[in-house]
A = this chain, B = another copy of it.
Amino acid sequence: MDVYIGLLGCGTVGSGVIELTRRRSAKIADLTGLRPVIKRVLVRDVHKARDVAVEHDLLTDRAEDILHDDEISIVVETIGGIEPAKTFILEAIRGRKHVVTANKDLIALCGQEILEVAEQNGVDVYYEAAVGGAIPVIRPLKECLTANNITDLKGIINGTTNYILSKMTETGASFEEALREAQELGYAEADPSSDVDGLDAARKLTILASIAFQTRVRLEDVRVTGIRGVTATDVAYAQELGAVIKLLAVGKDRDGILTLEVRPTLVPKHHPLASVSGSFNALFVTGDAAGDLLFFGRGAGSLPTASSVVGDVIDCLRNIKLGVSGRVGEVLMFRKRVDPAKAEPVSHYLRLQVEDQPGVFARIAAIFGDAAVSMETVVQKRARGGHAEIVVVTHKAAPVDVDRVVEALRALPSVRAVAAVMPVESNGDT
């Protein structure tokens, strides 16, 4: 039997969904007894030339051709962004259509509302592709690891910034140069702010943390620092210290108190996350029973994302065949508190620009000492332009104490700038 799908959007992800659905429709029919058929594709301009071979009469620029078509039982949304995607999805759900989406922005910001409406209407909303592209992370968290209390999420979940930081590490390029190259290659958008300012990673962390910690995490709960401030100098110093700089998304649950952060971080070269380069994504998950787990793969791209989308479509088909819905559902059942002040002690990297004068060093050391932040490594770098550069790596220290150190350093006349402050990951467990 054929099951009709309406596809919203025909960009990178949408084209991949068309391509992969066609390649696999016979196999999926063998597997589930139901053959997925893309009946209509919503596009802005039906006359535009397209990379993917799609029959012209499938295309429509009127959403109601999909949303009001009773033959269509699954709507796949690949438009992205909040509107009109949200309105379309809610209308599809109210029309009792299952929904598969790759839309991380929408799920991060309006996920709860959408999932509640879906439950009321007896349909499912799947979004495996919203985080980690091809990597199965949502379903493992929701289904395989349900017996765990998840305590830690830690990963590289934005390919654009990872590509830029990898380039800076490999070539010594500045942020601006690496960004320009990423834009030329299509890895970064013309307006790159959502990626480079860490918002995309923060939205994905919001989704992951909500599922893993089984509570409602809001985007505002995530402390976000992007990578615009990462300089070639810091990348070089990190390498001298045996580390690379990565934009890490970190979520922790300590007895119901959460800390959530997206931040450039020094990762030791032998840590498994250090070798995640280019546009790949990786996510560590720690459960109280399972221990440490790592999921790794392509975080974006047409077919990799379509792999997860069509996987979700197959799940819909299985539910349709059995006439069930809400089998797994959402699991936001606990009240937990987000408290950045409870962030655990970690080692920190600081780069200071100071007057090249006697006594400066002692004054700096005193500030660290007063805040009970002990220094593991201190390197005085060659003076540049009349000032000296000091790189400090601290022993593990509470972020709030390091914040106090930074404030005191900035108040010191002989300190021209606290040019960089980044956490340092400890070595991986493997």
Copies in the complex: 2
- A333 partner residues in chain B, CB cutoff 8 A: 30-31
Given A291-B297, A324-B322, residue A311 in contact with residue B31 (CB < 8 A) = no
Choose, from A70-78, A143-151, A200-208, A404-412, the stretch at the interface.
A143-151
Could you tell me if A311 and B430 are in contact, using CB atoms closer than 8 angstroms?
no
Give the interface size class of chain A: 35 or more
Q: A131-147: contact bitstring with B at CB < 8 Å (1 yes, 0 no)?
A: 00011100110011111
A261–B36 alpha-carbon span in the complex (Å): 35
Within A271-315, which residues are at the interface with B (CB < 8 Å)?
272, 275-278, 280, 282, 287-298, 301, 303-304, 306-308, 310-311, 313-315
A195–B273 alpha-carbon span in the complex (Å): 30
Could you tell me if A297 and B289 are in contact, using CB atoms closer than 8 angstroms?
no
A310–B303 alpha-carbon span in the complex (Å): 33
Could you tell me if B297 and A296 are in contact, using CB atoms closer than 8 angstroms?
no
Interface flag for A378 (CB, 8 Å): no
Could you tell me if B297 and A293 are in contact, using CB atoms closer than 8 angstroms?
yes
Could you tell me if B311 and A146 are in contact, using CB atoms closer than 8 angstroms?
yes
Name the distance in Å between A65's Cβ and chain B's nearest Cβ: 25
Determine the main DSSP class of A at the interface with B. mixed
Q: A382-410: contact bitstring with B at CB < 8 Å (1 yes, 0 no)?
A: 00000000000000000000000000000
- A297 partner residues in chain B, CB cutoff 8 A: 290-294
Could you tell me if A289 and B20 are in contact, using CB atoms closer than 8 angstroms?
yes
Name the distance in Å between A336's Cβ and chain B's nearest Cβ: 13
A304–B430 alpha-carbon span in the complex (Å): 16
Could you tell me if B311 and A291 are in contact, using CB atoms closer than 8 angstroms?
no
Name the distance in Å between A401's Cβ and chain B's nearest Cβ: 32
Q: Which residue of B lies closest to A287 (CB)?
A: B307
Q: Which residue of B lies closest to A291 (CB)?
A: B298
A253–B297 alpha-carbon span in the complex (Å): 20
Within A1-42, which residues are at the interface with B (CB < 8 Å)?
16, 20, 24, 28, 30-31
A314–B20 alpha-carbon span in the complex (Å): 31
Interface flag for A328 (CB, 8 Å): yes
Could you tell me if B430 and A148 are in contact, using CB atoms closer than 8 angstroms?
no
Interface flag for A234 (CB, 8 Å): no
Interface flag for A318 (CB, 8 Å): yes
Could you tell me if B291 and A145 are in contact, using CB atoms closer than 8 angstroms?
no
- A428 partner residues in chain B, CB cutoff 8 A: 275
8 Å CB contact of A311 from B147, B278, B315: B147
- A293 partner residues in chain B, CB cutoff 8 A: 134-136, 295-298
A280–B277 alpha-carbon span in the complex (Å): 22
Q: Which residue of B lies closest to A285 (CB)?
A: B297
8 Å CB contact of A306 from B16, B147, B303, B328: B147
Given A31-B331, A31-B333, A430-B280, residue A146 in contact with residue B314 (CB < 8 A) = yes
Could you tell me if A20 and B147 are in contact, using CB atoms closer than 8 angstroms?
yes
Known: A128-B144, A140-B144. 7 other contacts (CB 8 A): A31-B331, A134-B290, A146-B314, A275-B428, A290-B297, A291-B298, A293-B295
List 15 A-B residue pairs with CB atoms under 8 Å apart, sorted by A's residue number.
Answer: A28-B146, A136-B293, A139-B143, A140-B140, A275-B428, A277-B430, A288-B303, A289-B303, A289-B306, A289-B310, A291-B301, A293-B297, A296-B430, A319-B327, A322-B327
